[in-house]
Amino acid sequence: MRRAMVASVLAVAVAATAGACGGDASGTSDDGGKQIEVLYRVEPSWPHFEKMIKQAKTQFESSHKGVTIKLTAVQGTNEDYYTKLALLNRSPDSAPDVYLHDTFQVNADVAAGKLAPLDDYLKNWPDWNTQYSEAVQQAAKGPDGKIYGVPISTDTRGLWYNKDIFAKAGIQVPWEPKTWADVLTAARAIKQKVPGVIPFNMYSTKPLGEAATMQGFEMLLYGTPGGTLYDDTQKKWVASSKGFTDSLGFVNTVYREGLGPKAADAFNPKLGEKVGQDWFPGGKLGIGLDGAWMAAAWTPKSTKPWPQWTEKMGWTPMPTQNGQAPGAVSMSGGWVMAMSSYAKDKKDAFDFISIATDKDNTLLYSTGSGDLAPRKDVAADPKYTADNPSVKFWTDLASVTHYRPAYEVYPKVSAEVQKAMEAVTTGSKTPEQAAKEYADALPAVAGGPDKVVSGS
């Protein structure tokens, strides 16, 4: 799921394979016609986007004679994907025309001049203002106020739990923890009464990349009083705060008390796949701090269906630290279809984006992936909720959700957060030591001491 060693990342990225259409990156196909190259990530356990994008390719080519869509699939983790994208984006001759983009990476590419604004095309696309809420439209909004991507998905995060394990541990369901202490109490009960089961899982090491930062640390930090990575009022990054140290303290408790997975699993880049396809269905995990999409691993359309999941699994919000208002916390992100500033035929490139994100294709992706649908018409379609009784719960979590501070330096800040989490996970640093190292490193990452403020 997340970051591997640099050498292996580069090896995988360079070896990433292309789809069926021939041609080069110059915008010309083998037969001399126009070509639009589309870059995206794929892995065997996550085929949903590839199914959608292949359908969109067929639809586009049938209505745009003489224009070929070249699909370039990158095999591997998100970090493999972004390494490949960075290599291709070094030159206009190799850059893809359209690519799948994580919202937290958008502003870095905007600042680097790699993305083209879509506003001139969006104003002539009726779907934009009728099917996308104002909040969803902001997903790929740059600091200049322009839009740089059309959302294909959004998400929320919370707690999944195995009801059978809870029954053995004597924990009443439905489970509704009110504080962090309630979560830890349940994990301790599982450890004591259900031997051999992992009580609690969260992502907390560098190989898990943004999953560690967003699904792990930020789900804690943004549930502390005033907790944030970035002070919007002062427009500065927060170097240290009680909430930051307390969040690391929660991680420390999980691993020092043996409530989390073993080190080999905590460092496994494919830990998310193991959680969804093995641990929960196999009755090996009690509680998981994870995303709305988890159910996609179990539906009839998945690679390993688990028909009993609607009876065996429960879901509940992640509580705030001490139960303070609003009582629960979530984080949201998502993916967009973006256009390269190097694209030679931007009109055709946007036409492909509009087809890939229309109702039929978004529905195909959303029902397969378990991601929350960004389009209103998809969210209202009975097919969207047919196999997933949890979808309303995860959608409603938007009322308590937060978004990452998607500024240009955020990926570097995120890397420092991961470093702090990992040090606490292994026990090489105390929460206080790791928090201090983060605070000491932040000015250089953020662009200078004037870009940083100490929190309360």
CB 148 within 8 A of CB 106: yes
- Least Cα distance to 160 among 325, 317, 2 occurs for 317
Q: What pTM does this model have?
A: 0.81
List the strands of the sheet with 236-238, edge to edge: 230-231, 236-238, 452-453
- List phi, psi (to 5°) of 87: -65, -45
Q: Which of 19-23, 40-44, 307-311, 410-414 is least confident?
A: 19-23
Which residues are 161's β-sheet partners? 287, 314
Instruction: Report how far apart the first and last C-alpha atoms of the chain are (Å, whole number).
Output: 34
Confidence of residue 307 (pLDDT cuts 50, 70, 90): very high
Chain CA centroid to CA 183, Å: 23
Tell whether omega for the bond before 269 is within 30 degrees of 0, i.e. cis: no
CB 425 within 8 A of CB 419: no
Residues 179-216 have pLDDT tens digits of 999 999 999 999 999 999 999 999 999 999 999 999 99
CB 384 within 8 A of CB 378: yes
Task: Look up the CATH architecture of domain 6-155+333-403.
Answer: 3-Layer(aba) Sandwich (3.40)
Mean pLDDT for all residues in the chain: 91
Give the Cα-Cα-Cα angle 397, 119, 363 (nearest 5 degrees). Answer: 45
CB 425 within 8 A of CB 205: yes
User: Which long-range contacts does 29-32 make (Cβ < 8 Å, 24+ apart)?
Assistant: 29/68, 29/70, 31/68
Confidence of residue 23 (pLDDT cuts 50, 70, 90): very low
The percentage of the chain sitting over the pLDDT mark of 90, rounded to a whole number, equals 78
Two domains, one topology: 6-155+333-403 and 157-332: yes
Query: Which whole number is the average pLDDT over 89-116?
Result: 94
- Is the pLDDT score of 240 beyond 90? no
Query: Using N-to-C axis directions, what is the helix angle for 410-426 and 242-256, rounded to 10°?
Result: 40
pLDDT value of residue 386? 84
Query: Which whole number is the average pLDDT over 418-440?
Result: 98
Query: Residue 357 in 3-state DSSP?
Result: coil
Query: Using N-to-C axis directions, what is the helix angle for 431-446 and 242-256, rounded to 10°?
Result: 130
Q: How far apart are CA 31 and CA 22, in angstroms?
A: 9
- Is the pLDDT score of 22 beyond 90? no
pLDDT value of residue 257? 98
Query: Using N-to-C axis directions, what is the helix angle for 346-356 and 48-63, rounded to 10°?
Result: 130
pLDDT value of residue 11? 34
CB 216 within 8 A of CB 285: no
Q: How far apart are CA 205 and CA 18, in angstroms?
A: 31
Which residues are 75's β-sheet partners? 42
**Residue length, the chain?**
456
HEC states along 304-331? CCCCCHHHHEEEECEECCCCCCCCEEEE
Residue extents of the structural domains in the chain? 6-155+333-403, 157-332
CB 452 within 8 A of CB 237: yes
* Buried/exposed code over 401-412 (b: 16+ C-beta within 10 A; e: otherwise): bbbbbbbebbbe
- Is the pLDDT score of 394 beyond 90? yes
pLDDT value of residue 77? 80
The percentage of the chain sitting over the pLDDT mark of 70, rounded to a whole number, equals 93
Task: Output the six-digit token pair for 455.
Answer: 């929190």
Q: How far apart are CA 85 and CA 41, in angstroms?
A: 10
Q: How far apart are CA 38 and CA 36, in angstroms?
A: 6
Distances (CA, A) of 249 to 209, 253, 324: 20, 6, 18
- Least Cα distance to 77 among 361, 248, 272 occurs for 272
Q: Of 3.30.70.1380, 3.40.50.740, 2.40.50.140, 3.40.190.10, which CATH number belongs to 157-332?
A: 3.40.190.10
- Residue 341 corresponds to which amino acid? S
- Least Cα distance to 162 among 34, 288, 277 occurs for 288
Which of the pair, 345 or 399, is modelled with greater confidence?
A: 345
